[in-house]
């Protein structure tokens, strides 16, 4: 490894605690954030668009936040499920380029 280059380790996990740490450390963000941005915006426009244009109250803004949070979590779960190393699958690693 040359100076200035960081080794890229594949994202894999085998225990639920490891998956939670990957989520909390932001390892799913590169995949989940664009999905949440598109889906959350579409959901917000369709479901709360008229309320937002009228100014919206606190409940409206909470719903808008949930419109972004739910797709982020779903995309993160999809990302992590593709990278799970099942017990007994020694030597089998997910494709790190995915």
pLDDT digits (tens, 9 = 90+) for 36-76: 999 999 999 999 999 999 998 999 999 999 999 999 999 99
Task: Specify the pLDDT at position 20.
Answer: 93
Instruction: Locate the domains of the chain by residue range.
Output: 26-81
The partner residues of 84 in beta bridges, in order of sequence, read: 13
Q: What is the pTM of this model?
A: 0.75
Instruction: Please give the helix or strand (H or E) that residue 86 lies within, else none.
Output: none
Quickly state the pLDDT bin for 87 (edges 50, 70, 90): confident
Place of tokens 């409940």: 59
């Amino acid at each position: 490894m040359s100076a200035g280059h960081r080794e890229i380790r594949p994202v894999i996990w085998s225990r639920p605690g490891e998956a939670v740490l990957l989520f909390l450390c932001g390892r799913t963000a590169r995949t989940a954030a664009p999905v949440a941005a598109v889906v959350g915006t579409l959901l917000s426009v369709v479901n709360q668009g008229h309320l937002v244009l009228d100014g919206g109250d606190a409940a409206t803004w909470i719903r808008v936040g949930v419109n972004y949070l739910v797709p982020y979590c779903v995309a993160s779960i999809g990302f992590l499920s593709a990278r799970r190393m099942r017990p007994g699958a020694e030597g089998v690693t997910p494709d790190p380029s995915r």
